[in-house]
Amino acid sequence: MGNAFLFAANSVLPIIILIALGYVLKRAKLLTKEFLDVGNKLTFRVLLPVMLFCNVYTIDRITDINLVFVLYGVVGVFAVFLIAAAVCCAFTKDGAKRGTLIQAVFRSNYAIIGIPLAASLFGEKGGAAAGVMSAFCVPLFNMLAVITLTIFNGSSEKRSIDVKKVLLGVVKNPLIIGTFAGLVCLVLRELFVAGNIGFRLSDITILYKSLENVKSICTPFALIVLGGKFEFSAVPKLKNEIIFGTVMRTVAVPVFGLSIAYLLKDVFALSGEHFAAYVGVFATPVAVSSAIMAKEMGADDELAGQLVVWTSLVSTVTIFVIVTALVMLGIF
């Protein structure tokens, strides 16, 4: 279990260090407000879509997908979303804070922490299961986030819900576009395999290498920008929201998602690699992109940034506890 704790710490603490670096650089006046605002847009509109495209395209085979395993993950995320919407609307009447809190509760840091964590917990099988799940949960996270932040933002209480605008926001969202492009290329690759066509996107070395380079920039750049926008002065006025969002994301959601999966494990024939992926879906901290999207779509981005930081800190403990419990139950 020492190794499990060490991996959890190694996965989350580098995130905290990069956020801290951004904060220090801002205090040293090496990062300006204008740079951080432009960096936020660059991350949301270019870097994150490319990263999501690459993550989806690198899935091995569509035919390897276990539909029951995927179905539980998708239904679980959607159930958490519905519960979060009800609970967060009861918790606050502020539309901008509602959107930020709902997103924080259901949206995990799956791409950056969840997938490598699954691989560490259950080796290649865990990593493969997490990769398959990413093709379904990552688009779902992004679509639900767009819907949430379109409905709940600073002006949500002054207008009725425009379904057409919500759907248009989903279709035009850069993160959705990046994920969908990856799925299209993945399907084309499967068709090439079926037709014995040897060509792959990776054969265009210059293009594919460039995409991989952009992907590698995304996470550290996004975290440094987030750190630059972080303000400790915001903690006292947002204390209740930070505590609420952090407890929901790091305690309530993993208990809900993983305990039901455990009760259904014999019915659905779920094994260790599946639970490794579920830990990534339900137990990891709030996605870094949630703060970026909140800023771009008019929600409370200050609260969103605080939740990324505090859930990342708290998850260094909760992930260890969750993994320990699953080991004691004989899952790993």
pLDDT number for residue 3? 63
When pLDDT is cut at 50, 70 and 90, the band that residue 162 belongs to is low
pLDDT digits (tens, 9 = 90+) for 69-90: 999 999 999 999 999 999 999 9
Q: Is the dihedral of CA 62, 68, 71, 72 positive or negative?
A: negative
pLDDT digits (tens, 9 = 90+) for 194-204: 888 877 788 88
Q: Is the pLDDT of residue 147 over 90?
A: no
Looking at residue 293, its amino acid is M
Q: Is the dihedral of CA 70, 15, 171, 178 positive or negative?
A: negative
How many residues appear in the chain?
Answer: 332
Q: Which of 50, 37, 7 lies closest to 210 in space, CA to CA?
A: 50
Q: Which CATH architecture has domain 2-328?
A: Up-down Bundle (1.20)
Looking at residue 62, its amino acid is I
pLDDT digits (tens, 9 = 90+) for 309-319: 899 888 878 98
Residues with Cβ within 8 Å of residue 309, at least 6 apart in sequence: 16, 19, 226, 230
Mean pLDDT of 184-213: 86
When pLDDT is cut at 50, 70 and 90, the band that residue 158 belongs to is very low
When pLDDT is cut at 50, 70 and 90, the band that residue 240 belongs to is very high
3-state DSSP percent of the chain in helix, strand and coil, to 5: 85, 0, 15
Q: Is pLDDT larger for residue 193 or for residue 209?
A: 209
pLDDT number for residue 80? 97
What are the extents of the domains in the chain? 2-328
When pLDDT is cut at 50, 70 and 90, the band that residue 118 belongs to is confident
Give SS3 for 5. Answer: helix
pLDDT number for residue 156? 44
Q: Is the pLDDT of residue 29 over 70?
A: yes
Q: Is the pLDDT of residue 4 over 70?
A: no
Buried b (16+ CB within 10 A) or exposed e, 156-180: beeeeeeeeebeebbeebbbbbbbb
pLDDT digits (tens, 9 = 90+) for 126-144: 877 887 888 788 888 888 9
Tell me the CA distances in angstroms from 229 to 27, 46, 63, 104, 306, one per residue in order.
Answer: 10, 19, 43, 18, 10
Q: What is the DSSP string of 91-140?
A: H---HHHHHHHHHHHH-B-IIIIIHHHHHHHHHHHHHHHHHHHHHHHHHH
Query: Taking all residues of the chain, what is their mean pLDDT, rounded to a whole number?
Result: 84
pLDDT number for residue 85? 94
Looking at residue 275, its amino acid is F
